[in-house]
Structures are given as C-alpha cells and as structure tokens.
Structure 1
Amino acid sequence: MADHLLINAEAIPAKMHSGLRPELRKTKSLR
C-alpha cells in the first residue's frame, strides 16, 4: 500500500504539471 501511495504521490504532480502547461499556453494564446 505504501509503495502505491509513494508512486501516486510522484506520478500525480507530474500529470498535473504536464496537464497544466498546455492549458496555460492555451490561455495565454487566447488572451
């Protein structure tokens, strides 16, 4: 269980960053 939590703790932020970067670029281009 602890291993899965550690993996998720590292994977989720990576997904968030990868997902936010394109969105930020889109919002900047729209503005």
Structure 2
Amino acid sequence: MSAPGAPKSGGALLLIATPLGNLGDLSPRAREA
C-alpha cells in the first residue's frame, strides 16, 4: 500500500489512528454493558 513518495508520518498516523479508533468504538459498548 506504500505509495511512491508518501511521507512516513502518514503511515505512522494510520498505525496510531486505527487502534485509537477501535478503542473509541469499544469504550461506549463497554460502558453500556
């Protein structure tokens, strides 16, 4: 998926944003349960 000339920070942001997004989705569900 690495595009030519893509900034490495972009990949790092995706790696960080994905787990954070998953935690954000699980937090409300855990509170409801």
Report the TM-score range of the alignment, normalised by the length of the smaller protein.
Answer: 0.5 to 0.7
Look up the SS of the partner of 1:23 in the other structure. Answer: helix
User: What is the distance in 1 between the residues matched to 2:8 and 2:29?
Assistant: 32
Percent identity reads: 4
Aligned residues: 28
Q: Structure 2-normalised TM-score?
A: 0.57
Root-mean-square deviation (CA), in Å?
A: 1.6
Which residue of 19, 23, 30 maps to 2:24? 19
Structure 2 gaps of 5+ residues are: 1-5
User: What is the distance in 2 between the residues matched to 1:2 and 1:24?
Assistant: 35
Runs of 4+ in structure 1 deviating by more than 2 angstroms, as ranges, are none
